[in-house]
Amino acid sequence: MTDANRLASLLARLPPSPDHPNILKAAFPDNGQLQLHLEKLGVPQLEMYLVWIAPDRFTAFEEVGKGGFATVYKGTVSFQDRKGEREKSFALKELRKEMVPELVMSAVLTFCDRQGNALPINELIGLTRHPTNGDYLMVSRFSQHGALEYKQMTNWRHVAKFACRLARRLSTLHALGFSHNDLHPGNVAFAGRGNFHVASDSWNKNGSVKLRKWDMGFAFVQMTHFNTQENWNT
């Protein structure tokens, strides 16, 4: 499948008006800027699904890591929503032109997740630009509790329980016609309150002691019938 056909196929999975619109739209009014930038990227259809965060809104901005395909930053911004004045940090992943299908796929998976599917994804929130070099950046939630590669676990019951949760979510992903194809402990990140997602780059490591027990936990994922479409890389 060519990139153009893949892009068209992904866009076809998005309804024109989502039942669950992005709740941050009101917090980040853009005066048409989002539509302008999406048109430059060739995907104006995403306007209803994303927000635009102007680069000058960031009160803090730093590089947090480089994956195999892109640089990831952490940006902090203050905004007003129904809970009052808030300050929140977001993950900002470099978006090159050839990565636009990834942007659309993330929008599709975020939409599917909001429809009630429990997917192992990091919710796509919006789009911004690097405040210095102007590169486009995808905005998603910042996983403040680090990667599974550095997660300490106290007993096998917890390892097996998490492996089952991960396998079930991957099974849901497969049922929708998607697979990750790059599973390894550094690509599973924690956002707190038991929430986790499978990232495309390992960039948020919290420095805890690495436990090889996870290798056995991931072997358990491999043995379950939920996960026949994935290979686990250690």
* CATH homologous superfamily, domain 3-205: Transferase(Phosphotransferase) domain 1 (1.10.510.10)
- Block residue for tokens 């436990």: 211
Q: Which residues of 188-224 are buried (b: 16+ CB within 10 A; e: fewer)?
A: bbbbeeeebbbbbbbbbeeeeeebeebeebbebbeee
Binding residues: 93
Rg (CA), the chain: 18
Confidence band of 230 (pLDDT split at 50, 70, 90): low
Confidence band, pLDDT 50/70/90 cuts, at residue 215: very low
How far apart CA 64 and CA 67 sit, in angstroms, is: 10
* Number of neighbouring beta carbons within 10 Å of residue 67: 17
Under the banding of pLDDT at 50, 70 and 90, the label for residue 54 is very high
Is the pTM higher than 0.85? The answer reads no
Which residues contact residue 49 at a Cβ distance below 8 angstroms, ignoring those fewer than 6 apart?
14, 18, 21, 22, 107, 110, 111, 124
- What confidence tens digit (pLDDT) does each residue in 191-209 have? 665 677 777 543 222 323 2
pLDDT confidence of residue 142: 86
Q: Report residue 42 as tokens.
A: 């060739």
Domain ranges of the chain: 3-205
Over residues 124-153, the mean pLDDT reads 86
Q: What is the pLDDT of residues 72-131, one digit of tens each?
A: 999 999 988 777 888 999 999 999 988 898 899 888 888 888 777 677 778 899 999 999
Kindly tell me if the per-residue pLDDT of 36 is higher than 80. yes
Residues of the binding site for ATP? 93
User: Residue 129 is encoded by which pair of tokens?
Assistant: 């630009």
Token pair listed for 148: 């599974």
pLDDT at residue 46, as a whole number: 92
Q: In whole angstroms, what is the distance from residue 130 CA to residue 150 CA?
A: 29
pLDDT over 60 (residue 232): no
Rounded mean pLDDT of 126-154?
85
Report pLDDT for 193: 58
Q: Please indicate whether residue 162 or residue 72 has the higher confidence score (pLDDT).
A: 72
pLDDT of residue 222: 47
